[in-house]
Amino acid sequence: MPPIQPAKDPVQIPIWLQIKLERYAVECLTRSESRHSSLPDDNPDQRTYDDVVDEIREEMGKLLSFGGGRVVCKLPESVGGSTEYIAKIVGARERDKHESVPVSTGFVQNWREILLSRYEQIREYIVPVVSASPTGLWLVMPYAEQEIEWDRDRLNEIAEEVEAVDGVNPVMAGSMGGGLDIYWSENFGAYEGEYRLLDYGGIHLTATVPQSSEEFPFVDPRAIEEADTET
Ligand SMILES: Nc1ncnc2c1ncn2[C@@H]1O[C@H](COP(=O)(O)OP(=O)(O)O)[C@@H](O)[C@H]1O
Ligand SMILES: [Mg+2]
């Protein structure tokens, strides 16, 4: 078992980029909301939605993924020097979102990753969040390579170890066709010489980690559901 990596120094994201990331998330959320409303098709909000998100996205960097719960893009090379970073930005609010999910599922996934990155026992298995908005609308983590040949046995071993970690509960299953998400290579990348989870938004942290009073007071909807079924 490799030794637990020491917590990395947080990465300073330039303020102009922080503002862009925040604005991008807010535009996605508010404009998609008006899109879902009963306004007529020629509503300017609807027409400008795609233009606005495209424009901001272009300014930010290469797009890696769009259409899942979150928008994922590479950050400009000027950020981070020799290390490449990516940002995950909360995507649109779902039409039929459950009332226990604040904002959108991408928001829940972002917060899980932000909090799990503060949980020492899981850190050796994840590509850590190195910077995030206090709102949780965006987070930054190092880029991890996925265009590699996977050693399936090693992946299973790691996923089993993750399942066995105290204080975490992998809850997301089936989005890739069956089984827990943490067993799917799509959710891993190569980072610091090992396979590590880069999508761990499906893991509910049951242990408590520090949250600053300036941050959004996030409570995992899973914890609320569990509390409800107990009463
Ligand atoms: N740290 C990372 N390095 C490289 N690619 C990433 C990283 N994080 C995410 N990606 C890519 O973006 C995709 C979507 O990110 P993910 O965290 O799975 O978001 P979601 O499933 O919520 O939309 C991933 O499947 C992966 O291909
Ligand atoms: Mg994913």
Candidate of 199, 200, 203 to mutate for ligand 1, largest count of ligand atoms within 8 Å of Cβ: 199
* pLDDT of the residue at 76: 84
Tell me, in angstroms, the distance from the centre of ligand 2 to residue 70's CA. Answer: 8
Cβ atoms within 10 Å, residue 153: 8
Alpha-carbon distance of 111 to 136, in angstroms, equals: 6
Secondary structure E strands in 103-186: 131-132, 138-142, 168-170
> Do the Cβ atoms of 209 and 118 come closer than 8 Å?
yes
**Which domains are seen in the chain, by residue range?**
15-230 (1.10.510)
Find the residues whose C-beta lies inside 6 A of ligand 1: 64-65, 68-70, 72, 86, 88, 106, 109, 127, 141, 143-144, 146, 186, 189, 198-199, 201
Tell me, in angstroms, the distance from the centre of ligand 2 to residue 19's CA. Answer: 25
Task: Print pLDDT tens along the chain (231 aa).
Answer: 443 344 456 788 999 889 989 988 888 777 665 555 555 556 555 545 566 667 666 777 778 887 677 889 898 888 877 889 999 999 776 666 666 666 788 999 999 999 999 999 999 999 999 999 999 999 999 999 999 999 999 999 999 999 999 999 999 876 556 688 899 999 999 999 999 999 999 999 999 999 999 999 999 999 988 888 876
* pLDDT of the residue at 140: 96
* pLDDT of the residue at 195: 97
Ligand 1 atom with the shortest distance to the CA of 144: 3
> Taking the alpha carbons of 231, 174, 220, 162 in that order, is the dihedral positive or negative?
positive
Q: Whose CA is nearest to atom 2 of ligand 1?
A: 143
Tell me, in angstroms, the distance from the centre of ligand 1 to residue 93's CA. Answer: 19
Q: Which of 116, 132, 111, 134 is nearest to 197 (CA)?
A: 116
Token couple for 184 = 């799917």
Q: Which of 69, 96, 80 is nearest to 13 (CA)?
A: 80
Token pair 């408590």: residue: 208
Regarding pTM above 0.75, the answer is yes
Tell me, in angstroms, the distance from the centre of ligand 1 to residue 65's CA. Answer: 7
Alpha-carbon distance of 184 to 120, in angstroms, equals: 23
